[in-house]
Structure 1
Amino acid sequence: MSPAAPLLFGCDFSSAPSRRKPIVVARGRRSGPQVLLEGLERFETLQAFASWLAAPGRWIGGFDLPFGLPRELLESLGWPLDWAASMDHYASLDRATIRSTFAAFCDARPVGGKFAHRTTDGPAGSSPSMKWVNPPVAFMLHAGVPLLRAAGAHLAGVEPHAAEAGKVALEAYPGLLARAVLGRRSYKSDDIAKQTPERLIARKDLLAALETGAPATAALLGGLRLKLRMAQHDALVADASGDSLDATLCLLQAAWAARQHEAGAPRYGLPAELDLLEGWIVGAPETPAADKAP
């Protein structure tokens, strides 16, 4: 890999980080088909994470948070239909207003179709970006996107394509890779009572597939495989919350995007035709996923 190549990051994001539930960033680099995990960093406050983002440097990162809201939702609410303007408006609202506004939208819709979805949600199997609980991705967008913008990052998939950018942020989703290997088997839980031997085995199986470049991940990673030291492997397995593993999955998605960019693909391998208002999850196919990630 060229010495001038940007660093690679994967981020498991939290809209309310704490010592118990920090933001976790996996740092790595690519060497041929291998993605080497170089370390994990943890941030217990949004301010600490913002300072890290704002530091000088060149990187390509996969961030587990949505970059846009559904077009259908924005049209219904009469909010701006330009991405930057919609994000400015969204950032101006407090969480209580967001919750009540989105709840009223859902209450007015029929059972089975309460939430509005982005086009990428079907192929990725991801939660709607307007969902405010379990998981609160609406608040993750509200907290995270302004930090990325303030750091001067280029948000691929929602901003016009830039041939080169010092900091490139991509919307990642670890469930996309996990589902390809595990199907509907769960591999993590923040609830200690649910941190079962079955979930531990699932984490081991997922890492084995990533390290060997199993066929289940080939289409999503283009032949890339994860390279770990034994102590790193054990640490990822031991983290029953799955946060460290999720950050590593996002790192792999960032590595795939960086490789696509090096090969000359526009938008870091995102679809040529996409809605710049909504964004797209890196590596998501353009056809619906069969099952939602556990």
Structure 2
Amino acid sequence: MKRAHHDIVLHGVDFSSAPSRRKPIVIAHGRIAALQPDVVNLEGFTRLETLASFRQWLNIPGPWIGAFDLPFGLPRELVDALRWPGHRGDHAPLPWERLILHVRHQSREQLRAIFRDFCAARPVGAKFARRACDRPAGSSPSMKWVNPPVAWMLHAGAPLLLDADVTLPGLRAGDPDRVALEAYPGHAARAVLGRRSYKSDDRARQTDERESTRGLLLTALELGRHPLGVRLQCTNEQREQMRLDPRGDALDAALCLLQAAWACSRQSAGYGLPETIDPVEGWIVSVLPQR
């Protein structure tokens, strides 16, 4: 029996590679409205202060679809150059799983040294290798270890997705009732705001202007005036919580929630992902390939 979209719990996950009370992992929970398939009801937020609690949370029974703000894979160019598991010429099965296991067993110091050596041999302006989805998404290279250190997000988060045996469309088959998709809230926000900044971890940059910009973004999300075409339904308290959060963690989690809803409505069409995805790179949900 086909399950209705509103029967599926949706999660949007603003991930942190080193969660703490000051900078927790923030998860927005919601469902698609039963009589309004273009509306997502925001049901609340969960804050997790340790990776151990995140590991435990991943095993919550489904059915659910989650959109996670962390890179799932590494650039093909990097994997091939290092001849890591999944490189071209390596035809063994489960390339993503073997790549993530390989990365997991490297320390941050080892990865930093490997990535620095790779970048040192490349020309200025093209130091980092990028995945096929990075340019259309406007996302940072998943091998980048500074400003922002998204490589550490992959190093901390991707192995936990593997351990949890979730399904990652295009990368691995797992529990069909727990589906994890890579998200990037910046892509959804930029479609509304352009290059205007709406958040900062730096207290000195947590300005009234950014607070006002968060308000503009929230209005667009509630009205459905953005390319995802899904309206966010939230309470006044939830709206104020997102507007007044200068780090933007709750708002980013809500943006990921809308990306999960976008994917849920396209579940029968591969969650809206490209037909072919590089098995070591992955793809960011709702991002369209460049032609």
Tell me if TM exceeds 0.5.
yes
Aligned equivalents of 1:69, 1:21: Cα separation in 2 = 25
Other-structure match for 1:265:
269
Cα deviation code 1:195-251 (max 9, x no counterpart): 01111111011011111111xx13xx1x31111111111110000100000000000
SS at structure 2 position matched to 1:226: strand
* Pairing of 1:13-162 with structure 2 (within 5 A): 13-31=15-33, 32-81=37-86, 82-159=95-172
Quote the offset at 1:274 in angstroms. Answer: 2.1
Quote the offset at 1:108 in angstroms. Answer: 1.2
Aligned equivalents of 1:70, 1:122: Cα separation in 2 = 12
Q: Count how many residue pairs are aligned between Structure 1 and Structure 2.
A: 278
* Pairing of 1:143-182 with structure 2 (within 5 A): 143-159=156-172, 165-182=176-193
Q: Indicate conservation of the 8 Å contact 1:54/1:150, yes or no.
A: no
The answer for unaligned runs of 5 or more in structure 1 is: 289-294
Q: Indicate conservation of the 8 Å contact 1:23/1:44, yes or no.
A: yes
Q: Indicate conservation of the 8 Å contact 2:5/2:32, yes or no.
A: no
Q: Indicate conservation of the 8 Å contact 2:61/2:178, yes or no.
A: no
**2:288 is the alignment partner of 1:282:** no
Return the match for 2:196 from 177, 185, 189.
185
Aligned equivalents of 1:235, 1:204: Cα separation in 2 = 11
Q: Indicate conservation of the 8 Å contact 1:123/1:285, yes or no.
A: yes
Q: Indicate conservation of the 8 Å contact 2:112/2:145, yes or no.
A: yes
- Structure 1 residues 245 and 281: CA distance shift in structure 2, 3 A: same
**2:197 is the alignment partner of 1:195:** no
The answer for unaligned runs of 5 or more in structure 2 is: 87-94
Cα deviation code 1:122-169 (max 9, x no counterpart): 110100000011111111011101111111211123226x8x811000
Aligned equivalents of 1:187, 1:145: Cα separation in 2 = 27
Tell me the TM-score normalised to structure 1 length.
0.91
SS at structure 2 position matched to 1:69: coil
Aligned equivalents of 1:183, 1:150: Cα separation in 2 = 37
Aligned equivalents of 1:253, 1:58: Cα separation in 2 = 17
Quote the offset at 1:29 in angstroms. Answer: 0.5
Cα deviation code 1:37-72 (max 9, x no counterpart): 100000000001111112323210000000100010
**2:216 is the alignment partner of 1:208:** no
Q: Let me know the Cα RMSD of the aligned residues.
A: 1.5
Quote the offset at 1:285 in angstroms. Answer: 1.3
Quote the offset at 1:104 in angstroms. Answer: 1.0
One-letter code aligned to 1:17: P
Other-structure match for 1:292:
none
SS at structure 1 position matched to 2:118: helix
Aligned equivalents of 1:167, 1:179: Cα separation in 2 = 28
Q: Indicate conservation of the 8 Å contact 1:36/1:227, yes or no.
A: yes
Q: Indicate conservation of the 8 Å contact 2:5/2:265, yes or no.
A: no
Aligned equivalents of 1:42, 1:178: Cα separation in 2 = 22
Aligned equivalents of 1:44, 1:202: Cα separation in 2 = 27
Identity %: 56
Other-structure match for 1:254:
260
